[in-house]
């Protein structure tokens, strides 16, 4: 039996490779129109095809609807797709998140293969979500509660929840609401849990109509161990509580380019400090000003409390702004005054 010559083997391999590349790079197309629930074309909204049979790393293919809500997008993935539209800036949240899915809204399923490489569909944009505004204050002092965990759960399915850990210096938290009745649960490590919109309605479901806003005020009661304890700088006393450490690095507004995003924070020692605690927030990466907007606390190892050195090193979350501050803790466990927030920006 004759063996294939090297030239023949190479040619065969190249043909096989070309076939593989062609199959992998084959473009499947989904086109159609986006309309709202009244059938009016939705212009300028995002439309995405999510490949259901691929892993999350494969990613979705997205585009924007044009005139008359028309769209066309290509995807390298064959198989089953879910096609959805959203417009977060306009209040229409992604229906990929079951918590925000509108009841009765049709989910468009498309199957693409070599026999049917394209499909034409109509995608319905979900109604606007409602908005919940929570104003949280400490019942003992009246000062805003600037770090609050809020848990919203569907009343009919308490396992379907959305959890928000936000930091808001003014104690005002704004969240998108689901389209169905939901339960509100809010708490901090120092305060008792709060359920419902008011003390007279603990545990009662809330309902917010599409596009409407509900505002509620929470006067959070302290747990017994924290009553009379100075939790905020407004309650602390010079000479009793340690002064704020002086931050030395990075400089305010520092632009950092290291990757991985290893970040070193440094400050001067405070006489009488037994340890230090660092607080780090990550901020909205889409902010064109590169300032810290919409801060969320960053939880990372190593622990941010009990630091005995005057520095702290951690890996930041992304190419976006962040901010940090630090305070000293004395031998009695009393936290001192906090340093100002200092912003940094990771460029990549």
Distances in Å between the Cα of 265 and the Cα atoms of 6, 243, 296, 337 are 61, 18, 18, 18
* 325 and 342 Cβ atoms separated by less than 8 Å: yes
pLDDT computed for residue 14 by the predictor? 39
* Single residue among 197, 226, 255 that ends a domain in this structure: 226
User: Residues 192, 267: one domain?
Assistant: no
* This prediction's pTM: 0.83
* Single residue among 98, 124, 150 that ends a domain in this structure: 124
Mean pLDDT by 10 residues, the chain (348 residues): 38 40 65 97 96 78 96 91 95 95 93 95 97 96 96 95 93 97 94 78 83 95 94 96 98 94 97 97 82 89 92 95 97 97 95
> To which H or E segment does residue 115 belong?
none
71-285-184 Cα angle (round to 5)? 85
pLDDT computed for residue 321 by the predictor? 96
pLDDT computed for residue 202 by the predictor? 57
User: Residues 111, 43: one domain?
Assistant: yes
19 is a domain residue: no
pLDDT computed for residue 262 by the predictor? 95
Domain span at residue 81 reads: 24-124
Question: What would the DSSP string read from start to end of 66-113?
Answer: -GGGEEEEEES--EEEEEEEEBGGGTB--TTSGGGPPTTPPPEEEEEB
CATH code for the domain in which residue 191 is found: 2.60.40.1120
User: Residues 36, 52: one domain?
Assistant: yes
CATH code for the domain in which residue 93 is found: 2.60.40.10
Q: Are strands 131-138 and 172-176 parallel, antiparallel or unpaired?
A: antiparallel
User: Residues 136, 108: one domain?
Assistant: no
User: Residues 152, 108: one domain?
Assistant: no
6 is a domain residue: no
End-to-end CA distance of the chain: 59
Distances in Å between the Cα of 14 and the Cα atoms of 23, 227, 228, 244 are 14, 76, 77, 68
Q: How far apart are the C-alpha atoms of 80 and 112, rounded to whole Å?
A: 6
């Amino acid at each position: 039996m004759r063996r294939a010559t090297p030239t023949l083997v190479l040619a065969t391999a190249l043909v096989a490779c070309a076939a593989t590349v062609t199959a992998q790079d084959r473009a499947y197309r989904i086109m159609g129109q986006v309309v709202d629930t009244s059938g009016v074309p939705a212009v300028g909204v995002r439309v995405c095809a999510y490949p259901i049979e691929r892993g999350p790393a494969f990613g979705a293919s997205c585009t924007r609807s044009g005139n008359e809500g028309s769209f066309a997008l290509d995807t390298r993935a064959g198989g089953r797709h879910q096609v959805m539209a959203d417009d977060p800036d306009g209040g229409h949240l992604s229906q990929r998140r079951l918590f925000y899915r509108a009841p009765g809204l049709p989910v468009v399923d498309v199957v693409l293969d070599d026999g049917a490489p394209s499909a034409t569909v109509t995608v319905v944009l979900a109604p606007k979500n409602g908005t919940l505004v929570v104003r949280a204050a400490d019942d003992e002092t009246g000062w805003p509660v600037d770090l609050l965990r809020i848990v919203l759960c569907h009343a009919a399915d308490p396992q379907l929840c959305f959890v928000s850990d936000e930091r808001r210096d003014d104690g005002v938290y704004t969240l998108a609401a689901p389209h169905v009745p939901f339960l509100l649960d809010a708490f901090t490590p120092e305060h008792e849990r709060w359920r419902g919109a008011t003390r007279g309605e603990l545990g009662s479901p809330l309902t917010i109509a599409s596009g409407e806003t509900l505002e509620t005020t929470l006067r959070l009661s302290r747990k017994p161990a924290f009553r009379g304890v100075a939790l905020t700088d407004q309650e602390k006393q010079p000479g009793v509580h340690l002064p704020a450490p002086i931050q030395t690095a990075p400089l305010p507004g520092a632009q950092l380019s290291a990757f991985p995003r290893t970040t070193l924070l440094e400050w001067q020692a405070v006489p009488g400090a037994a340890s230090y605690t660092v607080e780090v927030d990550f901020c909205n990466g889409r902010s064109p000003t590169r300032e810290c907007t919409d801060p969320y606390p960053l939880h990372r190892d190593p622990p941010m409390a009990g630091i005995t050195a005057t520095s702290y090193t951690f890996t930041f979350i992304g190419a976006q702004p962040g901010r940090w501050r630090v305070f000293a803790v004395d031998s009695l466990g009393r936290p001192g005054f906090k340093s100002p927030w200092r912003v940094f920006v990771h460029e990549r």
